Amino acid sequence: MEKSAGQAVKQDVVVMISDDATPLDITISSPVNDLFGKTILRTVEEELTKLKVLHGTVKIQDYQALDFVLRARVKAVIYKLRTSGGKI
């Protein structure tokens, strides 16, 4: 099962997560990846750790979102997945 949160507009981010049983795999696509890719990855990893997510595939399509937007989108998509019966 795959769920997503966010919109493909400037200063937002689209976060897609599938609840497959593979080890955690995070892919980031961003126009500012060279400058902020590591920060984006660290932010996503921090939120997933707080939410106790240990497996699944995470795809981040960044449109220059601020930190708090990224954190909110990660939380929202995990909530959506868990409330719809996803096993993540």
Threshold 0.85, pTM exceeds: yes
Q: Tens of pLDDT along 3-53?
A: 999 999 999 999 999 998 889 999 999 999 999 999 999 999 999 999 999
pLDDT of the residue at 9: 97
Domains defined along the chain, listed by start: 2-83 (3.30.230.10)
| Strand intervals (E) in 1-88 | 2-5, 12-23, 25-29, 55-63
Residue 62, pLDDT > 90, answer yes
Q: Which amino acid is at 53?
A: V
Residue holding tokens 């993540």? 88
What are 47-61's pLDDT values in tens digits? Answer: 999 999 999 999 999
